[in-house]
Amino acid sequence: MAQTTIEILYPEFGNQAGDNGNAMYLRACLPQAAFIETTFGEEPAFVTRDDLSLILLCGMTERQQERVLDALMPYAERLAALADAGTPMLFTGNAVELLGNMIITPEGRGITGLGLFDFVTHQLTPKRFTGVGLGAFQPAPGADPIDIVGFKMQFTQAEGKNEKWSFCTLKQGFGMNKKSAFEGVRRNNLIGTWFLGPLLTVNPPFTRWLLDTMGEADAVLAHEEVAMRAYEQRVKDFATPGMDV
């Protein structure tokens, strides 16, 4: 069996709102896996390797976001090809915004995105959008949905019709924008979401799906009992009317 190998892109950037906790939890779940930390300025491993089990990029500042876009732009077609081939990828926080067509700054400047999804992000700084969300993720057609909980803290709203390629459909909270119930993006096993949490720590059933998708069906979820108790309570709490205000 090939060794599980996870590439963490720009970990020195992707640590906003505790989002580096996603990588920390994966390390706890997969102590025998190989982790590649690609720092800014290095060529990503995914450019030449076809054996990666997961590519992870988490939230960053707006300035870092623009620098990362410049760095990844030469590999946009490669990322699209990997997504179409089924390579698991996870983009959390504002990292999901890199995957769209454009990011428009408060001054009206357009920053070209990677173009893997058809949406446009508007930076509305200093206005901040916060809240909690509860949604349903459909792993595969006919499969039982997985409840997803998460937190929102962003300066942006996006526009696009992501109904057919969203990460999850919300029961509580806002999705791509305040008028949308469709959160994040999905292209096969590429998942992009504005949810913070960190996402993997607060959603052990989703993490279980991700590990299975990576070929780690026998891996044990770290601290599973405690994580599940916290998750089940959040699902109940976040279903309370008004919790998203």
Residue 16 scores a pLDDT above 90: no
Residue spans of beta strands (DSSP E) within 20-70: 34-38, 54-57
Residue 87 scores a pLDDT above 90: yes
Q: Which residue is it, tokens 């060794």?
A: 3
Positive or negative torsion for Cα 70, 71, 77, 80? negative
Output the pLDDT for position 208. Answer: 98
The residue type found at 143 is A
Give the confidence band of 1 by pLDDT, cuts at 50, 70, 90. low
Residue 179 scores a pLDDT above 90: yes
Residue 93 scores a pLDDT above 70: yes
Q: Are 19 and 151 in contact (CB under 8 A)?
A: no
Helix (H, G, I), strand (E, B) or coil at 66: helix
Output the pLDDT for position 85. Answer: 97
Give the confidence band of 196 by pLDDT, cuts at 50, 70, 90. very high
Output the pLDDT for position 46. Answer: 98
Output the pLDDT for position 159. Answer: 97
Give the confidence band of 220 by pLDDT, cuts at 50, 70, 90. very high
Residue 4 scores a pLDDT above 90: yes
Average pLDDT of the residues in 35-45? 97
Average pLDDT of the residues in 112-117? 98
What digits encode the pLDDT tens for the residues 126-151?
999 999 999 999 999 999 999 999 99
Q: Which CATH number among 3.40.50.880, 3.30.960.10, 3.40.30.10, 3.30.465.10 corresponds to the domain 5-238?
A: 3.40.50.880
What digits encode the pLDDT tens for the residues 71-85?
999 999 999 999 999
Positive or negative torsion for Cα 66, 62, 96, 104? negative
Residue 245 scores a pLDDT above 80: no
Put simply, whether the predicted model's pTM sits higher than 0.85 gets the answer yes
* Cα(222)–Cα(23) distance, integer angstroms: 12
Q: Where does the chain have alpha helices with state H?
A: 21-29, 62-72, 76-84, 199-202, 204-213, 224-238
Pairing of strands 34-38, 146-154: unpaired
Report the chain's mean pLDDT, rounded to a whole number: 96
Output the pLDDT for position 242. Answer: 82
* Secondary structure string (H, E, C) spanning 57-107: ECCCCHHHHHHHHHHHHHHHHHHHHHHHCCCCEEEEHHHHHHHCCEEECCC
Output the pLDDT for position 171. Answer: 95
Q: Are 183 and 176 in contact (CB under 8 A)?
A: yes
The residues, any chain, with a CB within 8 Å of residue 12's CB and separated by 6 or more, are: 39, 40
Give kind and range of the element (H or E) at residue 25. Answer: helix 21-29
Output the pLDDT for position 169. Answer: 97
* Cα(80)–Cα(146) distance, integer angstroms: 26
Whole-angstrom CA distances from 160 to 23, 27, 100, 122, 201 are 29, 34, 9, 11, 29
Output the pLDDT for position 64. Answer: 95
